[in-house]
Chain A
Amino acid sequence: GAGVSQTPSNKVTEKGKYVELRCDPISGHTALYWYRQSLGQGPEFLIYFQGTGAADDSGLPNDRFFAVRPEGSVSTLKIQRTERGDSAVYLCASSSAGGADTQYFGPGTRLTVL
């Protein structure tokens, strides 16, 4: 079946602009996660959704970052007033129920802020 998909695969923007990154989880998965992976580093947790609600947003670096999952399926990560330091690969993962369930990752969106 289809895995986690993310769009766009690459996004280039200018400093100060607004961007939206989309994640389509595996059908039926109730838990959805966003991570950020900088060059040469492992993924860093940003936010976790269980259904429509953000169960844990402790990893969001500041209030420029926001994520939604209005219908409990697709999620959008929104970044306002982008900065060069936001450049990274943004990974989305989903799992069937959260907790210790296996997280399946998408291919990521590579964001470059010029």
Chain B
Amino acid sequence: TQLLEQSPQFLSIQEGENLTVYCNSSSVFSSLQWYRQEPGEGPVLLVTVVTGGEVKKLKRLTFQFGDARKDSSLHITAAQPGDTGLYLCAGAISGSARQLTFGSGTQLTVLP
């Protein structure tokens, strides 16, 4: 059973469109991370959010941590084919900060 639920599971969009990926849980996390994974490679960290309500921007990517620290979202503006990949959220539960709990991932395909 995944503690973190991601939606949608699959997303295929045209270049230039905007999209949002959601990560939800009934558990409270001390921090939440977003990763991007490409085929044959390990996940690569994009961002870490630690404060409820926190918003972080990384170029065209905007990450938000929910006020109650149970959910997060990733918004991509003007998606490009290079954004294609598997996006994973991962949470650290207070007291077990070393063990990351991953969501099932969102496979994003951006078509040119």
Q: How far is the CA of A103 from the CA of B99 in the complex (A)?
A: 10
- For the complex, is B84 an interface residue (Cβ under 8 Å from A)? no
Q: How far is the CA of A104 from the CA of B43 in the complex (A)?
A: 8
**Is B43 touching A105 in the complex (CB atoms < 8 A)?**
yes
**Is A107 touching B40 in the complex (CB atoms < 8 A)?**
yes
Among A33, A44, A105, A107, point to the contact of B98 (Cβ < 8 A): A33
Q: In the complex where A31-B98, A45-B99 touch, is A102 in contact with B41 (Cβ < 8 A)?
A: no
**Is B105 touching A105 in the complex (CB atoms < 8 A)?**
no
Q: How far is the CA of A4 from the CA of B99 in the complex (A)?
A: 18
Q: How far is the CA of A105 from the CA of B100 in the complex (A)?
A: 12
Instruction: Considering the complex, give the chain A residue whose CB is closest to the CB of B45.
Output: A102
Q: Mark A81-112, 1 if CB is under 8 A from B, else 0.
A: 00000000001010000111011111110000
- For the complex, is A40 an interface residue (Cβ under 8 Å from B)? yes
- For the complex, is A56 an interface residue (Cβ under 8 Å from B)? yes
**Is B105 touching A41 in the complex (CB atoms < 8 A)?**
yes
- For the complex, is B92 an interface residue (Cβ under 8 Å from A)? yes
- For the complex, is B51 an interface residue (Cβ under 8 Å from A)? no
Q: In the complex where A56-B98, A100-B92, A100-B97 touch, is A42 in contact with B44 (Cβ < 8 A)?
A: no
Contacts of B40 in A (CB 8 A): 107-108
Minimum CB–CB distance for A21 against chain B, Å: 14
Q: Mark B66-100, 1 if CB is under 8 A from A, else 0.
A: 00000000000000000000001010100011111
Q: How far is the CA of A58 from the CA of B48 in the complex (A)?
A: 24
Q: Mark B1-35, 1 if CB is under 8 A from A, else 0.
A: 01010100000000000000000000000110000
Contacts of B99 in A (CB 8 A): 45, 48, 56, 58-59
CB<8 Å pairs between A and B, sample of 27 = A4-B42, A35-B102, A41-B2, A42-B2, A42-B102, A43-B43, A43-B90, A43-B100, A44-B102, A45-B99, A48-B98, A48-B99, A56-B98, A56-B99, A91-B42, A91-B43, A93-B42, A99-B97, A100-B30, A100-B31, A102-B48, A103-B45, A104-B45, A106-B42, A107-B40, A107-B41, A108-B41
Q: Enumerate chain B interface residues (CB-CB to A < 8 A).
A: 2, 4, 6, 30-31, 40-45, 48, 50, 88, 90, 92, 96-105
